[in-house]
């Protein structure tokens, strides 16, 4: 088995089916992946994402380092608690990883959360480019829980109410008055420290909710309290079907070091102004922006019976061929859906090769589902 999160023994005690993913031993499900998926769409689900890398970037040159490493512009983050989604690129514009950067404040610097499978490589990349005036600190002392769904925020607020384990007292002690209200007032892509916890209104499911960083020693108590509040334990299986319904990319599948943001549905994260900001991969992306990308990432919905899976061949009549990058059966839509990289000239109808047969699929614009509602007619 792979590396273990602080909650590994808890997952075993809850009867989770554990698998290796990106070098980590993680729960695939706790009995029913479908039920976990529906719990997030209809009420609230709880994920252990402590395998994600939490990195604090500190020092007088912290902002300058991230302005140089990220395609999005951290110069937009001026108030403590603001967050930014970005790609980190290589010199050819390929996506090393996607991440979220949080501005903690002028003295504290930034907190960056990277993908678990890429955390060692990402941290090495950051340290390679960091000068003397930057400190890169991997926060292995923290656990990260994601609480997602239409009832997620109120459940976390209940956890933060006096008597909950997230407050300013000892682990398991009372929270300060008003902490729950502070959490509920957070806007999307905003975060703040609440007691010993760092609560961010972000997620990877297409639902509302929080991602909560906390001392690792407090994570099990928080998990059990959330279960007692009706929040369902969820594993990687539901996380993948949820993120695909939400049209969210998976690093290493829908984009990687050989693909750039413009052909990965992430052109919106590339900020080329001001022209004076040099960042790794900029020259390559400027050329793509000027000429146009020959490929694009689209959504697919299968119109016949079958299941879309990664690496299936896609034929776009009159335009050429492409490939499914991620595919699954959508529990919400009860249809097979996928993300696929196709020629830029591809139209609205394609064919996918599934088990030797060519089946028709519609090209659609992701997301497929958002806030529990289908966005595909």
pLDDT tens digit string along 224-272? 999 999 999 999 999 999 999 999 999 999 999 999 999 999 999 999 9
Q: Quote the pLDDT of residue 164.
A: 60
Each residue's pLDDT tens digit, 76-125: 999 999 999 999 999 999 999 999 999 999 999 999 999 999 999 999 99
Confidence class for position 205, pLDDT limits 50, 70, 90 = very high
List Cβ neighbours of 262 (8 Å cut-off, separation of 6 or more): 270, 285, 288, 289, 293
- pTM here is 0.95
- The two three-digit tokens of residue 42, written as one number: 């209809």
Work out the average pLDDT over 344-350. Answer: 98
Q: Quote the pLDDT of residue 173.
A: 36
Angstrom distance (rounded) from CA 371 to CA 332: 11
Q: Quote the pLDDT of residue 229.
A: 97
Confidence class for position 150, pLDDT limits 50, 70, 90 = very high
Q: Are 7 and 46 in contact (CB under 8 A)?
A: no
The CB-based long-range contact list for 275-280 (8 Å cut-off, 24+ gap) reads 277/67, 277/73, 277/75, 278/68, 279/67, 279/68, 279/69, 279/70, 279/71, 279/89, 280/68, 280/69, 280/88, 280/89, 280/90, 280/91, 280/129
Percentage of residues in the chain having pLDDT higher than 70: 96
CB atoms within 10 A of CB 283: 12
Q: Quote the pLDDT of residue 165.
A: 58
Q: Quote the pLDDT of residue 161.
A: 87
Q: Quote the pLDDT of residue 168.
A: 47
Each residue's pLDDT tens digit, 163-183: 665 554 443 334 576 899 999
Per the model's pLDDT, the better-predicted residue between 169 and 353 turns out to be: 353
């Amino acid at each position: 088995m792979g590396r273990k999160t602080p909650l590994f023994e808890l997952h075993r005690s809850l009867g989770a089916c554990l698998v290796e993913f990106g070098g980590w031993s993680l729960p695939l499900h706790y009995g029913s992946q479908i039920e976990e998926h529906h719990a997030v769409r209809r009420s609230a689900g709880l994920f252990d994402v402590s395998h994600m890398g939490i990195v604090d970037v500190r020092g007088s040159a912290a902002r300058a380092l991230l302005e140089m490493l990220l395609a999005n512009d951290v110069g937009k983050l001026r108030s403590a608690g603001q967050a930014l989604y970005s790609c980190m690129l290589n010199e050819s514009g390929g996506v090393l990883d996607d991440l979220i950067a949080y501005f903690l404040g002028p003295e504290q610097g930034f907190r960056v959360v990277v993908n678990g499978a890429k955390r060692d490589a990402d941290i090495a990349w950051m340290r390679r480019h960091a000068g003397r005036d930057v400190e890169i600190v991997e926060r292995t002392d923290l656990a990260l829980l994601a609480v997602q769904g239409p009832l997620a925020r109120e459940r976390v607020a209940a956890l933060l109410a006096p008597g909950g384990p997230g407050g300013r007292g000892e682990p398991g002690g009372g929270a300060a008055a008003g902490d729950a209200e502070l959490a509920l007032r957070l806007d999307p892509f905003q975060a703040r420290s609440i007691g010993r916890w760092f609560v961010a209104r972000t997620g990877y499911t297409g639902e509302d909710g929080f991602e909560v960083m906390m001392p690792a020693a407090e994570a099990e108590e928080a998990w059990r309290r959330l279960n007692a509040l009706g929040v369902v334990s969820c594993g990687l299986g539901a996380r993948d079907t949820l993120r695909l319904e939400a049209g969210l990319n998976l690093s290493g599948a829908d984009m990687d070091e050989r693909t750039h943001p413009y052909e990965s549905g992430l052109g919106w994260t590339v900020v080329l102004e001001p022209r004076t900001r040099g960042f790794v991969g900029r020259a390559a992306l400027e050329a793509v922006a000027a000429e146009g990308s020959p490929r694009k990432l689209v959504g697919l919905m299968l119109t016949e019976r079958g299941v879309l899976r990664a690496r299936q061949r896609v034929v776009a009549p009159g335009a050429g061929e492409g490939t499914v990058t991620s595919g699954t059966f959508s529990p919400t839509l009860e249809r097979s859906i996928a993300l696929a990289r196709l020629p830029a000239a591809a139209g609205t109808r394609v064919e996918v090769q599934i088990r030797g047969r060519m089946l028709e699929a519609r090209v659609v614009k992701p997301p497929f589902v958002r806030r529990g509602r289908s966005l595909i007619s």
